[in-house]
Amino acid sequence: MKINSLLILFMAIALASCKEKKEAVKAETSQPVLADTVIAMPPEELKTDTAAADESENIKTEEPAAEPETITDDFAFNKFPSANYKFVKKAKLDFSSDEGAYNFRTRIKDAYESGTPNFASYYITVIFGCGASCIMGMMMDVRDGKIYGLPLGEETSCLFADDRAIFYPDSRLFIASICRESNEAENVYYHAFVWNEQKKVFEKVEEKDIK
């Protein structure tokens, strides 16, 4: 009788022990398996400021502004004023007033028809080339259509010229050329003239007279 009781007790303890082991194994297997290796996260997208990039590309380095030309300010055009004149209409061109004018009739006609007085109140000018470092020209009086030669050509041309044919509508001063002996020369010299309205001729003037 005692043997049976001990046997039953032993079996009960054994069953209880097996149940605890099964529950422990079940609990362990139910936990997620953690990998030993580290899973690399996808790289974050690098955000670039496209506005700033575009702005830097659009920035342009500006060249320093060139100094304005002031060469005409060196001359006293106001010392030789021409009369006030209200331009209304043009007279018919008179090609007989100048011997060589007819040779350049097309240039003269085109300039006269399209222009307005731009020298010494009454005159429309036309200037054109006559060879290397040479220019020549005519001026036409809108009051009577007469044609006069400008003081240009070989006699007033120069190989190293800073400027040529400088004149204004309200002045009788005509700067034919500003010359140098060479590109490196510092000193300049002038071919300058004043239109004599009464005599209808250009008169040479010196540097001291035009400054």
The whole-angstrom separation of Cα 140 and Cα 126 is: 9
- Mean pLDDT value of segment 190-195: 96
55 forms bridges with which residues in the sheet?
none
Contact 195, 205 (CB under 8 A): no
Place of tokens 């920035």: 59
Phi, psi of 16 (to 5 degrees): -65, -40
61-103 tens-digit pLDDT: 444 444 444 455 689 999 999 999 999 999 999 999 999 999 9
- Rounded to 5°, the CA angle 100-103-104 comes to 100
Closest listed residue to residue 130, CA positions, set 150, 160, 144, 109: 150
Break the chain into its structural domains and give their ranges.
87-210
What does the pLDDT look like over 116-134, one tens digit per residue?
999 999 999 999 998 777 8
pTM of the model: 0.65
